[in-house]
Amino acid sequence: MSKESSDFNFDPGLQLSDRMFRNFYDNGCYNFSLHPQQYFCIVHCNNPEGSIPYPIPPPVVSCYVSGYDGTIHLAKYETDERSGFEIYDKQIYNETYYDEGISCRGHFCFIVPDKYSDGTRYYKGCISANEQGENRIQLGYMYLNDVPYYICNTDFCNFDIETTLEEARNGTLEDNFSSLKLRINVVFMVLIAMNF
């Protein structure tokens, strides 16, 4: 069994903005977002005998987003001199840029740099996960299936790469599925205690 996502998830012909959502690990369910109006829910379930890694526990952090708003709100960025696409595309070449007034929620915030000959685009967003396999998302820098990720798990920690790495060094990982089970068990115990 592969420790990374299946081979068919890696397609170098796809743009990085599409490829970054098809990554991560076997036996996990992931929800990725670059914008509150855009998300991918991907389930990697390679063990037909095992349980399906779903549902995903509720999100716990708020994250900056960039890389998608210009796709759905192009007119917002247009001027008489330049197209909305040109303006938005230029903005995401700035590492500290984020879509003002827009955020997403997840278990992790991320930045994915995409290098071009004229500079680097910075995609920002959030990831929620229910990971039941051996491998898990790690805080800090991860390079997985030809995609570099900078991952942290505190509110708005994905302002820039330096902040993301600093927050990742100070962060702790929580098993989101176990914490969901714990919260359900505590609520159940409280309900039982109230009946007595």
Give pLDDT tens digits for 109-150: 999 999 989 999 999 999 988 887 778 889 999 988 788 999
pLDDT, tens digit (0-9, with 9 covering 90-100), for 64-101: 999 888 888 888 999 999 999 899 999 999 999 999 99
Per-residue pLDDT, 4: 45
CA gyration radius, the chain: 18
36-55 pLDDT, tens digit per residue, is 877 666 665 555 566 666 67
The torsion angles phi and psi of 157, rounded to 5 degrees, stand at: -80, -5
The overall longest dimension of the chain from CA atoms, in Å, is 72
String of DSSP letters for 77-129? H--SSS-HHHHHHHHTTSTT---TT-EEEESEEEEEEEEETTEEEEEEEEEEE
Q: How many CB atoms lie within 10 A of CB 166?
A: 14
The answer to pTM > 0.85 is no
Instruction: Give me the pLDDT at residue 45, please.
Output: 58
